[in-house]
Structure 1
Amino acid sequence: MMDLGAKPKDQELAADAVRQFLCENPDFISADPALMTELGLKPQAANVVEFGPAALARVHEAHKRESKARKYLEATARANFAAQAQTHGAVVDLLDSRNHADLARRVDDLAQLRFGLAAGVVALEGPDRTPAGWRVLAEGQIDQVIGHQQVALMGFQPTALPLFGPRAGDIKSIAMVRMAVWEPARTGLLAFGSADPQGFTEDMGAELVAFLARVVERTAERWPVL
């Protein structure tokens, strides 16, 4: 009989070898009552093995884990689909903007009404004129807010709170993406603030926010800064 117990660690039996052995010796388990008991199996009629309570419990736990994982994937897929649908609707809203001030207002409206956030802000750097409704930032300030040469930031950033004006106290997490508007390009920023600390976290992707930033860029370039 093959010894499945004590063997040197460097000679442990591989899983495929175990499988091959059991296929070649189909009565190996059923002929060993002690092993049957240890595995939680119970012999029945010839060539039939019934799963005992221990084995059924293991199968049940495995099924629960699989079911939980499947539900999580399904919930994530539904959430992603809903977010994409809301983003597509937001794009239509942004494209309907009549001027820069209306564009900034629509960013804030879609943040609150479509995404359930606390605020949405469009900001622009530089000493030149800034469109009405946009936040004014000093040159180099975006590097201080989002990080030097960083394109996007998800999570909480205290230096970004002033962007949200009187609503800064409500902001617990932030999503920010750099923008480059007009030619020659001026550095801008699209920022969304959430009252939920878990609304935006560092492990989240910024793809949808970045997509909205590109839409804001292209829409803003319709009009000169007056």
Structure 2
Amino acid sequence: MSTQLPRAISPMAEELREKIISDPDMVLDDLDVMRALIAANEKGAGSNVVDLRGLAMERLEERLDRLEDTHRGVIAAAYENLAGTNLIHRAVLQLLEPRDFTGFLTLLSGEIVQSLRVDAVRLMLETRIESQEPAIKQFENVLVTAEPGFIDQYITYGRNIPVRQITLRQVAPATDMVYGEEGEFIRSEALMKLDLGEARLPGLLIFGSEDPHMFRASQGTDLLKFFSDAFERMMRRWLG
């Protein structure tokens, strides 16, 4: 028969005990408290006892943590995609407003740059005749002319690879012919090849950014393809 007397329970401990008995979820829902209780139980069991239930709970907790990380990543990507969609839609609506090609180019070099949060926008048109018209010079900060075949060469860097409609890449540094003095700071770009209609030379819409990670080859291109397709139709209207 044991002569050991039960330990006295302090009033604070008794109050806590009653709270736990009345609301056990208070403990069960607290991961830190549960870990402490399981650790105390394992310590009392000794080092030669394997707690399979404890191991299973650890693995379940690890899986739960991974699922929560994935969940947060999916939500963040969804918000980012929604924000990108809103930017593209707003820019397309803005480009529908000008009543002449001059206003179209002015908008492209000003408000569209701000709306899309890029650092440079360029519209490259291939031409067989080198034009020195004042109208062209006026918009040299957005309109670039090039000889036939240059667009494909610029997209592929002269390599023998297929020319895609949308190309995202890093540049370091970009060519002065495209960006002028800004080329020193451009570190990534989005290239959208434009089909301007039958019997017309192609065009190229270029977004440039000082952020080397803004445009990467691993990114999706659905939104840029939509913008490119809409832009093609606007250009065909202006070119008659």
TM value normalised by structure 1: 0.70
Whole-Å separation in 2 of the counterparts to 1:111 and 1:139:
27
Correspondence for 2:42 = none
Q: Are the aligned partners of 1:145 and 1:159 in contact in 2 as well (CA < 8 Å)?
A: no
Match of 2:211 among 196, 202, 221: 196
Structure 2 CA distance for partners of 1:182 and 1:135, relative to 1, 3 Å: same
Any gaps of 5 or more consecutive residues in structure 1? 1-32, 42-51
1:184 lines up with 2:185 in the alignment: no
* 1:31-180 map, 5 Å: 37-38=49-50, 40-41=52-53, 52=54, 54-128=55-129, 132=136, 133=139, 134-147=143-156, 149-157=163-171, 161-162=175-176, 163-180=178-195
CA contact under 8 A between 2:174 and 2:186: conserved in structure 1?
no
Task: Tell me how far apart the structure 2 counterparts of residues 155 and 98 of structure 1 sit (CA, whole Å).
Answer: 34
Figure out how many residues of one structure are paired with residues of the other and give that number: 181
Q: Does 1:223 align with 2:232?
A: no
Q: Greater shift after overlay, 114-123 or 206-215?
A: 206-215
Equivalent residue number for residue 33 of structure 2 = none
CA shift, 1:79, in A, is: 0.7
Q: Give the Å deviation of 1:158.
A: 5.5
The 8 Å contact of residues 145 and 160 in structure 1, kept in 2 or not, is answered as no
Which structure shows the higher helix fraction?
2
- Unmatched runs of 5 consecutive residues or more in structure 2: 1-44, 157-161
1:28-72 deviations in whole A, cap 9, x for unaligned?
Answer: xxxxx9xxx54532xxxxxxxxxx3x3332222211110000100
Cα distance 1:90–1:105, how it changes in 2: closer, same or farther (>3 A)? same
Q: Is the 8 A contact 2:188 2:215 kept in 1?
A: yes
Native 8 Å contact 1:94 1:215 kept in 2: no
Asked if 1 retains the 8 angstrom alpha-carbon contact of 2:197 and 2:236, the reply is: yes
Structure possessing the higher radius of gyration over alpha carbons: 2
Per the alignment, do residues 154 and 194 of structure 1 end up closer, same or farther by CA in structure 2, a change over 3 Å counting? same
Q: More strand per residue: 1 or 2?
A: 1
Three-state SS of the structure 2 residue aligned to 1:86 is: helix
Output the amino acid matched with 1:122.
L
User: In the TM superposition, what is the alpha-carbon distance from 1:181 to its structure 2 partner?
Assistant: 1.5
CA separation of 1:39 and 1:186: change in aligned 2, threshold 3 A: farther
Indicate how the Cα distance of structure 1 residues 210 and 160 shifts in structure 2: closer, same or farther if over 3 A, else same.
Answer: farther
| Aligned partners of 1:172 and 1:195 also within 8 Å | yes
Distance 1:185 1:110, change over 3 A: same
Please state whether the residue corresponding to 1:139 is helix, strand or coil.
Answer: coil
Secondary structure of the structure 1 residue equivalent to 2:110: helix
39 and 106 in structure 1: CA distance in 2 versus 1, 3 angstrom threshold: farther
CA gap of 1:155–1:215, structure 2 versus 1, over 3 A, is same
The CA distance in 2 between the partners of 1:158 and 1:65, in whole Å, is 37
